[in-house]
Amino acid sequence: MSVSPLAGARGFVFDLDGCVWNGNQLNPGALETLAALDRAGQGIAFLTNNSRATGADVLGRLHELGVTFARHALTPLEIIGQVITERWGRSRVLVMGADEMAAVIVAAGHEVIEIERWREASVVAVGNDFDLTYERLTAACRAAARGAPLITPNVDPRLPIEGGDFLPGCGAFVSAVAVVSFAVPVVVGKPEPPLFLMALDRLGLPASAAVMVGDSLKSDIGGAVAVGMRAVLYAPDGARESAPAIAVVRSFAELARLAGLA
């Protein structure tokens, strides 16, 4: 009998958008597989590049959708304020993004300034901005072009929603500012290491004992492999290109079988 590539795993870290859920709907089999992993004593954490929600927000949404045993959820908003402090000290930040992102930046000790004060910005933070206006975009571009460093939760181009559809992702907004200002963004979330390492710390596991499950080759699979985790690509339509994953699954039922749960 062949040995499962997930043998010895003691914890699983799951991406959310496009993997566990699309929009406000869990993907087929997700709840059953997650519950089976929990019953089997596996540690479970959730890791999302969401630029509009904190980990507590995400946990609340998981609980509402029936994943009541969820305990660990991380987003880039957990650390964006800290990263600004570490790299540039206390800053005047022009935010092009959600109120939630502005709030965590203020909580970290920074001043968030209005777009009319763009010349005073010492940092520009860009997230997924559902209230984007041409004036907000112009202010962010001008501040970054003037030399204010550009920081972002992620550069994912799309945000998957129900029915196989999508919304423009954070990366679409960041790209617009970067192209106009010639700035190179500092990325806080996946595929950079910090959130993966925080998830491992929450689970109390070394990278070698944890498995990342996600649908993005770059953000989920590439980022996990870079910190030493095993990775499973969730690809309901099949993988369109080679991936550095130990396995590719088309469904959560297939993941359950691979993990020895079914």
Residues 9-32 pLDDT 10s? 999 999 999 999 998 899 999 999
Paired tokens of 48: 């999302």
CATH 3.40.50.1000 fits 80-187, yes or no: yes
Q: Does 238 have pLDDT greater than 80? A: no
Question: Nearest-CA neighbor of 213 among 228, 197, 232?
Answer: 232
* Residues 55-83, mean pLDDT to the nearest whole number: 96
11-76+190-258 with 80-187: one CATH topology? yes
pLDDT at 187 exceeding the cut of 80: yes
Q: How far is CA 174 from CA 23, 67, 88, 139, in A?
A: 22, 32, 19, 13
Residue 202, helix vs strand vs coil:
helix
The CA distance from 251 to 245, in Å, is 15
pLDDT grade, residue 239 (50/70/90)? low
Other Cβ atoms within 10 Å of 164 Cβ, number: 9
Domain assignments of the chain as residue spans, ordered by start = 11-76+190-258, 80-187
In this predicted structure, the answer to whether residue 236 has a pLDDT above a threshold of 70 is: yes
* For the chain, counts of helices (H) and of strands (E): 9, 15
Decide if pLDDT at 245 tops 80: no
Its CATH architecture, for the domain 11-76+190-258, is 3-Layer(aba) Sandwich (3.40)
Q: Which residues have a Cβ under 8 Å from the Cβ of 210 and sit 6 or more positions away?
A: 9, 10, 11, 12, 13, 43, 199, 200, 203, 229, 230
Element spanning 197, H or E: helix 193-203
The pLDDT mean for the chain works out to 94
- Look at the block and give the residue holding tokens 């959310």: 16
Q: Supply the angle between the helices 80-88 and 99-107 in degrees, to the nearest 10.
A: 50
Residue range 242-260: average pLDDT? 87
Cis, peptide link before residue 160, omega less than 30° from 0: no
Averaged pLDDT, 172-201: 96
Find out whether 141 and 181 touch, Cβ atoms under 8 Å.
yes
Helix (H, G, I), strand (E, B) or coil at 9: coil
Question: Is residue 122 pLDDT above 90, yes or no?
Answer: yes
What residues pair up with 167 in beta bridges, in sequence order?
159
Residue 242, pLDDT score: 62
Tens digit of each residue's pLDDT (9 = 90 or more) over 75-121: 999 999 999 999 999 999 999 999 999 999 999 999 999 999 999 99
CA distance linking residue 58 with residue 143, whole number of Å: 31
How far is residue 173's CA from residue 89's CA, in Å, rounded to a whole number? 25
pLDDT above 70: percentage of residues in the chain:
96
Per-residue model confidence (pLDDT) at position 160: 86
Question: What percent of the chain lies above the pLDDT cut of 90?
Answer: 86
End-to-end CA distance of the chain: 16
Which amino acid makes up residue 260? G
Helix (H) or strand (E) run with residue 107 in it: helix 99-107
Q: Whats the size of the chain, residue-wise?
A: 262
Confidence of residue 141 (pLDDT cuts 50, 70, 90): very high
Question: Is residue 133's pLDDT more than 60?
Answer: yes
- Does pTM surpass 0.85? yes
Tokens 């699954």 belong to residue: 249
1 or 186, which is more confident: 186
* DSSP characters over 207-235: GGGEEEEES-IIIIIIHHHHTT-EEEEE-
